[in-house]
A and B are shown apart, each in its own frame.
Chain A
């Protein structure tokens, strides 16, 4: 058993796949993580039962988002489209996992998307998914992501649609045991390859010094020399702005981080535009 598994036993990473570009980005990120953690990838494509039902209704019509034209939804067409999407998702998984030399499996489920994902998430150590696409989402986190937040999934990797790839990693650390797990996970993921910034949530200098020493010690074991940002007074908006300024690629945070509080963490998730690895 490796050190990583002792600290953060992530063995199965579930990736919610669809035909979008964001989904491929998620797959890439998840595969990279799986390679670092020696975990297995499980690709899940959910055929939306709502869509299939809609297609069976006599009056169903859709409006094309690109053409803005209304047309009949034909059951056979929908079935073909879903199969095609599933095949594309499988192919993408195969290519990326092979390249990363990661074990993978792929399956197609039919049902309510969130419900199917929730069911699958119960078997996974980490669930990776994209936030909703820009045009139709109602909040930064789509309905599926919100459903996953409400689920008991142990860890979530949520990726926004991005134009540029950012490698920088950031950690929210408050000295708690959960934060220590986040720190250990960060060490394994980054492992000397990228810049790491640690936000130390400490309300007095001695605590900050203690945390800094601890973080330095742990990350040094992975060949990482982190940069520190001391957060004396937690202000989610200010923290989010700093994350944006530092062009953080992925933020690692424990959902039950005492320094931020669960609500604070959820607020932070809404306010930042980078990927988030949420440890629960």
Chain B
């Protein structure tokens, strides 16, 4: 008989004694200042935030719900508050190259006042420039200049006219020019009169005309030059007057921004541009409506002056207390890098620097940007754009169309802005390793990985800290205080969530959800403090909401559709345990596993694998069985065995090696032809030496078999064989623990297959004596004997008939 004793109830559930928590309710607990359970990750975060070198951006990896975001945010906020406030950034017109707007860096909080100053400046120009042009002084000077030109013309023509008159000629205006004609008595000579003139007179007229004509040509030649000179002088006059109107306004701005050389340079350019485009202000914006082909254009086009001299404040850090910490939940390329918007006008898309919009990188410049890796990678070209900016340490706004050369129309090329930002990406481990292996840029740009644990070691001190963390969550979410029993129950549930009695779960989201739901039930019961039954109800309700499939499986077993024995004995048949993960619920259930043996070539056939319903780990487990059998029982003769193993009534893929123990027991039973007690279920994997190895989901598996047995009635003989190494993971349901305490259900820890087979069959496993033989009647002896018979039979079947010596054995 087996000497393995069932586990005592204390081993099945590591409860938290509320008395050790040393508080009545969470309201008494002080706020937790440190992050608990994540020393590696927090050290990495602190290092990553602290180091100021290229490429030292952070990737914070870990399972969802482990509190990565809030912890990172907390450290970043703390660090950012000690750093200087980041600069304001503006885009202004580049008057030389309007398609390349200039970027201006301003001290924090001065961007908006600068924009307002420029708006006022333009408003002032609207009255100052027309005022200057409407002044009597301007009119008079312009009039003088115009008169001067006229006089110059008139003088030239008058002199010519006088000289012409002296020679009996007159200046005549033709449809396109001027001509000289001889006169008599003040009237132009007619051709007939001219013919009658003596030849000498005609000759004289010709000679004089030639001279006058030359003078006339000279004058007319000079007209354009005079006009140009006059226009230049008029332009100079305009310039002087605009200058007088603009000068003092610009001077005020210059004084205000004397400490900012870039702004002063821009103001210079503004002054030049205002002088150059003074007509924009002279005409006034309230003038005639601008139209194209009779269609009125929107005012956006008409307000050219305000746009030309305006300031587009891209980043405004007024009121900020430290460096920016920005999180964007939609990290698309435009929202990350910034974009240039367009206005539709007359069917055409137009744009200018005022339509440049900031991206998250602009807002985070000089501080920190938090990004969700999965969201970032799902956005087309966002990752590439981010890398480009980080590598170049500059923010160059480029539309995707431009980047991919899909659009060849001229758009804006805003001046790149120097980038000084630390990016913190949050994501799954899977994404981290994928990026690390397949993207060479990644390891250059994200040199610091902060790996978040999902669990922390459980100790009285850790439980106390955990309780304080829960208290913080309670306060933050404005929940009812939790009493110590409730907190103890939450902690126990945390250990169960961690699938380890020695650990506590750090899945913050799950914890917060449990606290909120417990609060809900407490409030539903008009309680002022959340107590353990409220927590239990929240846990039960969660299970209840998610366990539709589990119930269906249990129902199938109960109604005999899934064949399963929980009493009696069977040869080559065991109850194996599986675990299923469905959403937020993991549950276990037993499955009948059978083994059949016959003579063969030493193969253990896994039917699941043959039909491609077995995963590779499962197949590996089955192959180990052949290794174990061969080494233990057929070291010196062929393993002439053909065995088949199957999970009965499974219609999906089976994966994992946690059933390899059960498979071995079934195989040994079939070989030894010794029945196995069906009141027991088995979980655990086995190696080639027959040692039982730990598996996952032990609690769920035990509970799955317990539920089937409980439905049928607990006999006191039922129980589960688990690997000894899994005992430390046990955090079983209270009903299971209670049944065990009452001796109605048992959990047996097993270290090797011999222990297990003895428990299952009630027959000793047997060890080899000094001669190397197993004790008669033992399981091992029977198996060995059976394998020898199969080997001999195989030998006989393999020998030609004439050599056959007959069945002596």
Contacts and interface: CB of A to CB of B under 8 A. Distances in A.
Interface of A: 19, 48-51, 53-54, 56-66, 68, 70, 73, 78, 81-82, 85, 112, 134-139, 241, 244-245, 273
B108 to A, nearest CB: 49
Contacts of B459: none
Interface in B344-385: none
Nearest to A60: B179
B138 to A, nearest CB: 11
B513 interface: no
B191 interface: yes
B172 A59 contact: no
- Which 5 A/B pairs are nearest by Cβ-Cβ distance? A56-B191, A62-B179, A81-B175, A54-B181, A50-B188
Contacts of A85: 175
Interface string B150-173: 100110011001000000001111
B597 interface: no
Contact of A64 (B157, B177, B205, B206): B177
Contacts of B157: 136, 138
A68 B223 contact: yes
Contact of A63 (B143, B154, B217): B217
A19 B174 CA distance: 12
Given A134-B149, A135-B223, 6 more contacts: A50-B188, A53-B181, A59-B206, A60-B181, A70-B213, A245-B136
Contacts of B607: none
A51 B174 contact: yes
A66 B176 contact: yes
Contacts, number: 106
B153 A82 contact: no
Nearest to A244: B139
A65 B150 contact: no
11 contacts: A51-B173, A53-B187, A57-B181, A57-B194, A58-B194, A62-B176, A62-B178, A70-B217, A81-B176, A85-B175, A138-B161
A78 B190 contact: no
B576 interface: no
A241 B136 contact: yes
Given A60-B179, A62-B179, A85-B175, A137 B220 contact: no
Contact of B220 (A60, A65, A244): A65
A70 B798 CA distance: 129
Nearest to A63: B220
Given A51-B172, A62-B179, A78-B174, A134 B150 contact: yes
Contacts of B206: 59
A81 B173 CA distance: 13
A163 B177 CA distance: 23
Contact of A56 (B180, B190, B217): B190
Name the residue among B170, B182, B191, B206 with the largest chain A CB count within 10 angstroms. B191
B221 interface: yes
Interface of B: 136, 139-140, 143, 149-150, 153-154, 157-158, 161, 170-182, 187-191, 194, 205-206, 209, 213, 216-217, 220-221, 223-224
Name the residue among B140, B153, B220 with the largest chain A CB count within 10 angstroms. B220
A62 B217 contact: no
Given A19-B175, A51-B172, A68 B224 contact: yes
Name the residue among A50, A85, A241, A244 with the largest chain B CB count within 10 angstroms. A50
Contact of B189 (A57, A65, A112): A57
Contacts of B173: 48, 51, 136
A81 B209 CA distance: 24
Given A57-B191, A134-B150, A244-B139, A50 B172 contact: yes
B209 A59 contact: yes
B150 to A, nearest CB: 6
Name the residue among B158, B171, B172, B174 with the largest chain A CB count within 10 angstroms. B174
Given A54-B179, A136-B173, A241-B136, A49 B154 contact: no
A176 to B, nearest CB: 30
Nearest to B174: A62
Contacts of A60: 179, 181
Given A68-B217, A136-B157, A138-B154, A63 B188 contact: no
Nearest to B157: A136
A122 to B, nearest CB: 21
A68 B221 contact: yes
A62 B175 CA distance: 10
A273 to B, nearest CB: 7
A85 B189 CA distance: 24
A56 B193 CA distance: 11
A234 B434 CA distance: 96
A112 B136 CA distance: 41
Nearest to A134: B150
Nearest to B192: A56
A58 B153 CA distance: 29
Given A136-B178, A137-B150, A139-B154, A53 B216 contact: no
Contacts of B143: 244, 273
A88 to B, nearest CB: 11
Nearest to A133: B173
Contacts of B182: 57
A65 B188 contact: no
A61 B172 CA distance: 11
Given A62-B178, A66-B176, A68-B217, A53 B191 contact: yes
A49 B172 CA distance: 10
Contact of B223 (A58, A62, A65, A78): A65
Nearest to B146: A134
A224 B174 CA distance: 45
B184 to A, nearest CB: 11
Contacts of B187: 49-50, 53, 112
A78 B173 CA distance: 11
B176 A65 contact: yes
A68 B136 CA distance: 36
A9 B498 CA distance: 112
Given A50-B188, A53-B191, A68-B217, A63 B136 contact: no
B179 to A, nearest CB: 4
A53 B221 contact: no
Nearest to B205: A59
Contacts of B153: 134-137
Contacts of B224: 68
A48 B187 CA distance: 11
Nearest to A73: B179
Contacts of A49: 187-188
A1 B301 CA distance: 53
Nearest to B195: A58
B187 to A, nearest CB: 7
A102 to B, nearest CB: 26
A214 B798 CA distance: 148
A63 B177 contact: yes
A50 B170 contact: yes
A198 B191 CA distance: 54
A65 B177 contact: yes
B178 A54 contact: no
Contacts of A48: 172-173
B179 A82 contact: no
B154 A54 contact: no
B213 A82 contact: no
B154 A62 contact: no
Name the residue among B158, B194, B206 with the largest chain A CB count within 10 angstroms. B194
Contacts of A51: 172-174
B188 A53 contact: yes
A65 B175 contact: no
A136 to B, nearest CB: 6
A62 B188 contact: no
A89 to B, nearest CB: 12
A252 B1 CA distance: 137
